[in-house]
Amino acid sequence: MRTILSCVWSRAVRHAVLLVLFAGVLVGSVAGCRDEGATGDAEVTAVATTTQVADLVRNVGGPRVSVDGILRPNSDPHEYEPRPSDAASLARADLVFRSGGDLDEWLDEIIDNAGGDARQVTLIDSVHTIEGEGETDPHWWQNPRNTILAVGAVRDALAKADPGGRRSYQRRAAAYVEKLRKLDAGIADCVGRVPPDKRKIVTTHDALGYFADRYRVTVTGAVIPSLSTQAQASARDVDKLVEQIRGERVEAIFPEASLTQKLEQAISREAGAKVGGKLYADTLGPEGSGASTYLDATRHNAAELVDGMSGGRVSCDLPG
């Protein structure tokens, strides 16, 4: 278990890191900026905080937009520690797309120290949010209908920054939204084939609230009973969860691909539920994982959830 102290930087350490970030900006400026050649003929230089947001911007932006994603695949945004290259990227960006909520609040200090005059676009401001534990649940993209709204915000921000590309952004956004609508309908149909009394899930942390709300699934509990992976599960929390799983006859516990699964495995043995397939909750997967894009990760998660909830009796054949 991590202690509270291990999750919080001391003021001295944070100050030192920010000095390093600032130094990185200077080095990047002198060297002509990191990956400058990667920009090519792009009209807009954008930075995106999370893997999901970076993927949306790439899909809408196409070749007119150079996208630098801060988070890497399979990384936990709740525990991210900035790199010097992040400040360099932000210093030269035209637009900064952030997911919003506590997922990427670490961005504020980097921006303050990196300088630059990039416009910030916070996608959570454009979607329908739900409340969890007295705060806004930041995992909005788990409902594809929210992603459709976010795509609209990305399209409009890019068109404002690059009026000459407006038609391109509108066309690409419309094509992507059509894929999202088909995927959403496919998931709804597939989940609908699971008996209502079996639509129960237990996850690593409370990251599937939007999915559950959209597709009428019950979140019985979470191994880490928090919207953030930085929280800790107490022995009392674990005992309570085991009893819930037994009492509600939950079929499977779903671990997250970016985190260890030791506690999930121990709970599954105690409660008599199997460990289901890994989910990509806070991050997309690396190339070759079958979850390296938003569409693929959402398709993957839905298929794993349906398989686990139904005890393997229902499978999803979702649109590509």
Look up residue 295 and give its two tokens: 């569409």
Phi and psi, residue 221, nearest 5°: 175, 180
Sign of the torsion angle spanned by Cα atoms 216, 221, 227, 230: negative
DSSP state of 226: S
| Residue length of the chain | 320
Share of the chain above pLDDT 70, in %: 83
245 sits in which H/E element: helix 235-248
DSSP helix/strand/coil, 201: strand
Q: What is the pLDDT of residues 274-286, one digit of tens each?
A: 989 999 999 999 9
Note the pLDDT of residue 2. Answer: 35
- Local confidence band at 79 (pLDDT 50, 70, 90 cut-offs): confident
**Strand order across the beta sheet in which 200-205 lies:** 218-224, 200-205, 252-254, 274-275
- The CA distances from residue 61 to 114, 125, 159, in Å, are 24, 20, 9
- In terms of Cβ atoms closer than 10 Å to its own Cβ (0-12, 13-18, 19+), residue 103 is buried
How far apart are the C-alpha atoms of 56 and 18, rounded to whole Å?
29
How far apart are the C-alpha atoms of 320 and 318, rounded to whole Å?
6
Between residues 108 and 171, the one the model is more confident about: 171
The predicted model gives 287-299 an average pLDDT of: 97
Is pLDDT of 108 > 50? yes
The predicted model gives 157-169 an average pLDDT of: 98
Distance of CA 210 to the CA centre of its chain: 12
Q: What is the pLDDT of residues 207-229, one digit of tens each?
A: 999 999 999 999 998 887 666 55
How far apart are the C-alpha atoms of 318 and 109, rounded to whole Å?
41
Is pLDDT of 185 > 90? yes
Domains of the chain: 5-166 (3.40.50.1980), 187-309 (3.40.50.1980)
- Local confidence band at 292 (pLDDT 50, 70, 90 cut-offs): very high
Note the pLDDT of residue 163. Answer: 98
Mean pLDDT score of the chain, rounded to an integer?
85
Between residues 176 and 111, the one the model is more confident about: 176
Q: Beta 131-132 vs 135-136: how paired, if at all?
A: antiparallel
Is pLDDT of 133 > 80? no
- Local confidence band at 66 (pLDDT 50, 70, 90 cut-offs): very high
DSSP helix/strand/coil, 19: helix
Instruction: Answer for the pair 59, 171: CB distance below 8 angstroms, yes or no.
Output: no
